[in-house]
Amino acid sequence: MTFAERLPASTAVAAPAPDLTQDQVRELRLAHGALSEANGKLSEAQDKLVQSEKLASIGQLAAGVAHEINNPIGYIFSNFGTLERYLGDLFEMLAGYEAAEEEMAGTPSAAKLKALRERIELDFLKEDIPTLMAESKEGITRVRKIVQDLKDFSRVDAHQEWVWSNLHQGIDSTLNMVNNEIRYRADVVKEYGVLPDVYCLPSELNQVFMNLLVNAAHAITAVRGAITIRSGTDAVSERVWIEVSDNGGGIPKENLARIFDPFFTTKPVGKGTGLGLSLSYGIVRKHHGQLDVRSEPGLGTTFRVTVPVNGPSPS
Ligand SMILES: Nc1ncnc2c1ncn2[C@@H]1O[C@H](COP(=O)(O)OP(=O)(O)OP(=O)(O)O)[C@@H](O)[C@H]1O
Ligand SMILES: [Mg+2]
**φ, ψ of residue 7 in degrees (nearest 5):** -65, 140
Helices within 3-162 (DSSP H only): 3-6, 22-103, 108-119, 122-154
Pocket of ligand 1 (CB under 6 A): 211, 215-216, 219, 246, 248-251, 259, 264-267, 272-278, 301
- What count of other Cβ atoms lies within 10 Å of the Cβ of residue 16? 15
Binned at pLDDT 50, 70 and 90, residue 224 comes out as very high
200-217 per-position pLDDT tens digit: 998 889 889 999 999 999
DSSP three-state, residue 16: coil
Query: Does residue 17 have a pLDDT over 80?
Result: no
Of 169, 230, 164, nearest in space to 201 by CA: 164
- Bridge partners, 295 (sequence order): 301
| Inter-residue contact 232 to 192 (CB < 8 Å) | no
* Phi-psi sector, 223: left (phi>0), alpha (psi -120 to 50), beta: alpha
Q: How far is the CA of 288 from the centre of ligand 1 (A)?
A: 22
Q: What is the pLDDT of residue 2?
A: 43
**Where in the chain do CATH 3.30.565.10 domains reside?**
160-308
User: Which of 51, 247, 259, 271, when mutated, tests ligand 1's pocket best, judged by the most ligand atoms within 8 Å of its CB?
Assistant: 259
Collect all residues with Cβ–Cβ distance below 8 Å to 252 and sequence separation of at least 6: 297
Binned at pLDDT 50, 70 and 90, residue 249 comes out as very high
- Neighbouring residues of the ion ligand 2, judged by CB less than 5 Å: 211, 215, 276
277 CA: nearest ligand 1 atom: 18
Q: What is the pLDDT of residue 138?
A: 87
Q: How far is the CA of 216 from the centre of ligand 1 (A)?
A: 8
Q: How far is the CA of 22 from the centre of ligand 1 (A)?
A: 52
- What count of other Cβ atoms lies within 10 Å of the Cβ of residue 214? 17
- What count of other Cβ atoms lies within 10 Å of the Cβ of residue 66? 20
Q: How far is the CA of 211 from the centre of ligand 2 (A)?
A: 5
- Return the DSSP state at 192: -
Helices within 155-241 (DSSP H only): 167-177, 179-183, 202-219
Helix (H), strand (E) at residue 242: strand 239-246
Q: How far is the CA of 257 from the centre of ligand 2 (A)?
A: 15
Binned at pLDDT 50, 70 and 90, residue 174 comes out as confident
| pLDDT mean over 219-244 | 95
Candidate CATH numbers 3.30.565.10, 3.30.470.20, 3.30.70.20, 3.40.640.10; the one for domain 160-308: 3.30.565.10
pTM value surpassing 0.85: no
